Amino acid sequence: MNAEMNAEMNAYQPLLASGHAASWQSLNSSQKSFTSAINLRWENEGWTAEGTLGADNAQFVLRISAGWIIQQCLLFRDLEDPDLWLGTDSHGRWGEINGAHRTELDGCTDLDFVNTPFTNCIP
């Protein structure tokens, strides 16, 4: 690692437990601008990320462990479809809050929302 990269890596500070907020703007295919946002805070021995997906008029809440592993995902959409509430156990099994096992998600470790760069930050 060269000295410049090393200095850049040392410039990063840990996230404060009191939280962090960010917002960004993105353009859809018709060049309309949308604002999305995220609030990240430490609570109950893990991180809670609450955000908005501007272009989709949706909100999400993620529960993330101290080791940055997604444990729960809530997605609230302004659609006829029901909201989505997923959780995983420590063995890679995913299910809905109503107890329905989601076998198609078993083993998944990554979650990505199209209109937010935040979910790309979670390993």
Report mean pLDDT in 10-residue bins for the chain, 123 residues: 61 74 78 84 92 82 89 85 84 86 88 70 63
Q: pTM for the whole thing?
A: 0.76
**Calpha distance 49→80 (Å, rounded):** 25
**Calpha distance 17→42 (Å, rounded):** 5
Q: Residue 43: its pLDDT value, please?
A: 92
Residues near 123 by Cβ (< 8 Å), separated by ≥ 6? Answer: 68
Total number of domains constituting the chain: 1
Q: Residue 63: its pLDDT value, please?
A: 93
DSSP run (H or E) holding 25: strand 20-27
Q: Which domain holds residue 112?
A: 3-121
Q: Which residues of 86-115 are buried (b: 16+ CB within 10 A; e: fewer)?
A: bbbeeeeebbeeeeeeeeeeeeeeebebeb
